[in-house]
A and B are shown apart, each in its own frame.
Chain A
Amino acid sequence: MRRQIDIMANIDWLTVFLFLLLVAFGWINIFAVNYDPDASSFFHLENRYTMQLAWILISLIVVVFIFIIDSRFYLFVAYPAYAFGILLLLVVFLIGTAVHSSKSWIVLGPVSIQPAEFAKVAVILAIAKYLSGYNVKITRFKDIFVSLFIIFFPAGLIALQPDIGSTIVYGVLLLVLYREGLPGWVLIVILAMAGLFLGILVLSQFLIVLILSGLAIVAFTIVSKKPSSFFLAVLISISVASAFVLLNHYGYLDLDNYIILLSTVGIASAIAVIYAVVKKNKVIYLVVLALLLAIGYTYTVDHLFNNFLKEHQRNRVNVMLGLESDPYGYEYNVRQSKIAIGSGGFSGKGFLQGTQTKFRFVPEQSTDFIFCTVGEEWGFLGSFGLVVLYVGLLIRLIVLAERQRSRFSRIYGYGVLSILFFHFAINIGMTIGLLPVIGIPLPFLSYGGSSLFAFTIMLFVFIRLDSTRKAYLI
């Protein structure tokens, strides 16, 4: 009995309160989208708002169980949960049901679950358990490798479903590694790769290689510590390129401009390596290596983008980058979404008064585009309020994570807040046209049982861990 009281006293009610606000606000908006004055009774499971209400109640029951279970159980269950998660992701390949051409659902009678949602909880538990282990240092290559494997193995399985949206979510767990000491340059490399990825989509291969070569010459100048070497490098590059152009011109060779550029890069790199040997400057090797790797990477990305992504996903990225514009085609969703949010004005059209979402101009308006209804019916006040609520929850979670005495709890906390943050950023970013349309839900607000259960379990396991932060040092 005493233990029960302790738990209740140590629960962070502010977080619980923020959670309840978000869930309630989400339900109100799902109700607004699906409300039909002519429809039959409220308590009809065909109504999405009734279904969502049922799921909210069930997830609250789940919350009670989470509180009853001893918090040490979650440490113990981390690896088995991970294994079970992987198993589910494999099972999906066998008995999964395809929705929107991605095989990501398991249908069990009346219930369908999305393993990718639950796998997130398992992955956070596993990475927390691994990183909190003895002798694990995230600065060591082996530990970095294992951590990345824990994260990206299930992500890879999800990518094969294929569900690119859920796959990308796992990338955000790098933020957890960063907090635990992952060297900053790893993050920078990863961000650079992401930047290069976008660059490849927007610019031509030729231009990319040209820009990379320019950057390499600048880097070479810096590491060789002699301003004159800049002119030397430029002179050599131009001479080589000119030689190729002349040979081409007089018919000795028949190469296109891009091949000439690559050949020039190759020869100039060889000269740079010789220079490095002579000058005994090892950093120059790194510059050359980085350049060659970057060029190789552009090939890989180009290949992946054109062969691995589905056409509709490619189109979404292209729309976001402004490469394709077609108001009734791929850009349609984003345009309609912006119209709905923009039409809300400062104070909104009022509850149930939204026309854009109600009449289905916005696609997926109960699930991924629920924020449109918020924007349209509650206006700037409502959508700003929601942003504040979310940022407040995330900051509160940082505070909670940082006050943990156990590494496991802290890492788990960061895992939860990273995932929530990523969903929040991507989902709202896409509805207001800042990011490409990636079909991931807005946690606690979007319609759907699997995501609500997964996020609720994720969050409340952390609240449970936090409630015993003084009792155990797990």
Chain B
Amino acid sequence: MEQYINRKYIIGGIILLVGLVFTVRLFLLQVVNSTYKLSAESNTRRMEIVYPARGLIYDRNGQLIAHNLPSYDLKIAPYELEAFDSAEFCEILQIDIQTLREGIKRVINNQNERFNPFIKQLSSETFGKLKEKQFKFPGFYFSIRTLREYDREIASHLLGYVGEVDSGIILNNPYYELADYIGVSGIEYSYEEHLKGEKGRKYKLIDVHGREQGSYKDGRFDTDAKPGSNITITIDADLQEYGEKLMRNYVGSIVAIEPGTGEILTLVSAPSYNPSLLVGREREENYNKLKNDTLEPLFNHSIQALYPPGSTFKTVNALIALQEEVISNRTTYNCIRGYYARGVSVACHSHPSPLDLLHSIQYSCNAYFCNVYRKIMEDPDFESVEKAYNNWREHLRSFGFAEPLGIDLPYEKGGFIPKSDYYDRYYGQNRWKALTIISMAIGQGEVLTTPLQLANFAAIISNKGYYFTPHIVRGIEGIDSINSAFAVPHVVSIDSSYFNVVIDGMDMAVNVSGGTATWVRHRDITICGKTGTAENPHGEDHSVFMAFAPKDDPQIAISVYVEHGKWGSSYAAPIASLMIEKYLTDTIAPYHKWIEKRMLERNLLNVQ
């Protein structure tokens, strides 16, 4: 048999060969290749996101407007599921057994579904009931987030709402992940950066079934969630509430600004809605309801609606004419219940004639301002009407017309003041004259402004020639000063001395017999105001009023639009007056109570 003794070397060789192959393979696997290390990391760590609470929102007087309530998402850990009383479970959650089955099937069949909530945003009542009996339902657990809660049902448009991020946002901004919340509109959108806070992360060790086994490396890599910064807004919550109350039966808007700062005191868009509707589980459903409402409650009239400014616009034409020295305070024009010239006729109401500038504002004479406008357009300092028009438009631009003012809310509209080439296209170059566009003299025709621009215009008049960009946010916690753009005065292209006559005219419009809005005057506050009627080709004209008060120390500038209210004096003026009174005296004088009552009782919602 010894002839086979050499075979021991072959057998030994095979063993050594296997050992060598293993060694090489192990070396490649453990030392050379690093992909397995990374796989192991993701195998054992599960990152859990700790959601921060959004920053709180306070009004200018420190009243809390929006805060947060915890909300509980119910999740399923599929491998921890055990048999449970599904009837009782469904009873607590108010779901049918089919929903439960599908939910469980979803997490079992799809790895990625494991961390998605089975039911989102349980009510605290349901949470309480389920929490009490959680031991009966192994495999179900809660994940805590926060949802907005509002103390008062106000300011829905400017607060905006919070929704879930969509895939576009996730792609463009690495901070956001699936199912994160984000401000969708209002200041929730504008100040998302400050309000959102910072998500925290907790790394948990998990086993192959996704079960928690403790924190990863004793929590060395965990980060806490940082709550969002609290924000103080410029709104006066009481005044906002009062304004929304006054407007509840109307479509339109109230914008009130503190002239000395540009801070917006009130931003009412009517009809409004309860901000709580767009929170939580019912958000989607309520949103669609609001969206399909024919009164368009989601539409923010105050910064998005475009109306003709109507007669309020006469004041700006007066100022431009004075600046261009085409008229003076003493310039008078006749009014024969209208303005008639070469195929153009603009009717006017009954009032004394002739009038000077001051009284033309008091009485809101159409003929006077048609003459003024023609003077501006036919100014001999300019070679052509087109040049004069462009100059006029530049003046308007300095008032913040024609372009968005830059309020810190999304989707602000800029209004419309046509450029001269607009008329060139429409009529042909040099084929249009002052008379062609004469309706702009009285704020009709092509010109469109937003309620915000009109309120800002009132503020400019009260300031005699400058404004601060209207804004909503007054202070952000942890930040010394807000956007510096809001602290720079914008000076208009009209010398401040020219404003006095306009202010006096507006004073007389409210406070001197024969003025257009004398019935809303206040005995102790000198309100300067200008009525307007915005022509509405689709139905009854809109009621417009702009005002500021008190005359000597302006604290509030305001614009009010009431759709289908016809005359400026019929709805917009009394509402503006009540707002001013409420803001400055914190009450409504007894002799004004009837006006308040009338405004609250009337209803123009169904007027076309």
Convert A303-339 into 0s and 1s, putting 1 for each residue whose CB lies closer than 8 angstroms to a CB of B.
0000000000000000000000000100000001011
A425 and B4: CB pair below 8 A? no
Q: Which of B1-27 contact A (CB under 8 A)?
A: 1, 3-5, 7-8, 10-12, 14-16, 18-19, 21-23, 25-27
Residues of chain A with a CB closer than 8 A to B476's CB: none
B29 close to A361 (CB less than 8 A): no
Residues of B within 8 A of A395 (CB): 12, 15-16
- A179-B30 contact in complex given A342-B37, A343-B40, C-beta closer than 8 Å: no
- For window 101-115 of chain A, which residues contact chain B by CB distance below 8 Å? none
Interface centre among B5, B18, B41, B205, by most A CB within 10 Å? B18
**Known contacts A361-B207, A383-B26, A387-B22; A342/B4 CB under 8 A:** no
Q: Contact partner of A343 among B1, B7, B15, B36, CB < 8 A?
A: B36
CA of A428 to CA of B23, assembled, Å: 11
B390 within 8 A of A: no
The reply to whether the CB of A436 lies closer than 8 angstroms to some CB of chain B is: no
A48 at the interface (CB under 8 A from B): no
Within 8 Å of chain B (Cβ to Cβ): is A370? Answer: no
CB pair A340–B40 under 8 Å, yes or no, is yes
Which A residues from 288 to 307 make CB contacts under 8 A with B? none
Partner of B7, one of A179, A336, A338, A432: A179
Q: Are B43 and A391 in contact (CB under 8 A)?
A: no
How does the 8 Å CB contact mask read for A360-381 relative to B, with 1 for contact and 0 for none?
Answer: 1100000000000001100110
| A360: contacting residue among B1, B33, B208, CB under 8 A | B208
CB–CB B15/A394 < 8 A? yes
Q: Is the CB of B208 within 8 A of A342?
A: no
The answer to whether residues A181 and B8 also contact, given A339-B43, A342-B33 and a CB cut-off of 8 A, is no
Contact of B16 with A359 in the complex, beta carbons under 8 Å? no
Q: For residue A422, give the distance in angstroms from its CB to the closest CB of chain B.
A: 10
In this complex, what residue of A is CB-closest to B12?
A398
CB pair B37–A434 under 8 Å, yes or no, is no
A404 to chain B minimum Cβ distance, whole angstroms, is 12
Contact residues of A between 175 and 208, Cβ < 8 Å to B: 175, 178-181
Does the CB pair A359–B207 fall under 8 Å?
yes
A387 touches which of B11, B23, B207, B209 (Cβ 8 Å): B23
Known: A360-B207, A375-B26, A387-B23. A346 touches B4 (CB 8 A): no
Determine the main DSSP class of B at the interface with A.
helix
**Which listed residue (A179, A339, A425) contacts B40, Cβ 8 A?**
A339
On whether the beta carbons of B37 and A343 are closer than 8 Å, the reply is: yes
Q: Are A391 and B19 in contact (CB under 8 A)?
A: yes
With both beta carbons as reference points, the residue of chain B lying nearest to A348 in the complex is identified as B30
Among the interface residues B4, B43, B209, which one has the most CB atoms of the partner chain A within 10 A? Answer: B43
- The A-B contact count (CB < 8 A) is 117
B213 in the interface, Cβ–Cβ < 8 Å?
A: yes
Q: Does B206 contact A (CB under 8 A)?
A: yes
Residues A343 and B39 in contact in the complex (CB < 8 Å), given A360-B207, A360-B208, A380-B31: yes
Q: Is the CB of A398 within 8 A of B11?
A: yes
Q: Are A402's CB and B5's CB within 8 A? A: yes
User: Which A residues between 257 and 288 are near B, CB-CB below 8 angstroms?
Assistant: none
Contacts of B26 in A (CB 8 A): 341, 375, 380, 383-384, 387, 432
Closest to B29 in A: A342
B35 within 8 A of A: yes
Is B205's CB under 8 angstroms from A355's CB? yes
Interface string of B33-74 (1 = CB under 8 A from A): 101110111011000000000000000000000000000000
Residue of B nearest to A429 (CB): B22
Can you give 10 A-B contacts (C-beta < 8 A)? A181-B3, A328-B111, A339-B43, A345-B31, A346-B31, A356-B44, A375-B30, A379-B30, A384-B26, A387-B23
In the A-B complex, the 3 residue pairs with the closest CB atoms: A342-B36, A343-B40, A359-B207
- Contacts beyond the supplied A343-B39, A379-B30: 4 A-B pairs with Cβ under 8 Å: A339-B43, A346-B30, A360-B209, A432-B29
Residues of chain B having any CB pair with chain A under 8 Å: 1, 3-5, 7-8, 10-12, 14-16, 18-19, 21-23, 25-27, 29-31, 33, 35-37, 39-41, 43-44, 111, 205-209, 213
Residues of A within 8 A of B (CB): 175, 178-181, 328, 336, 338-346, 355-356, 359-361, 375-376, 379-380, 383-384, 387-388, 390-391, 394-395, 398, 401-402, 407, 414, 421, 424-425, 428-429, 432, 434
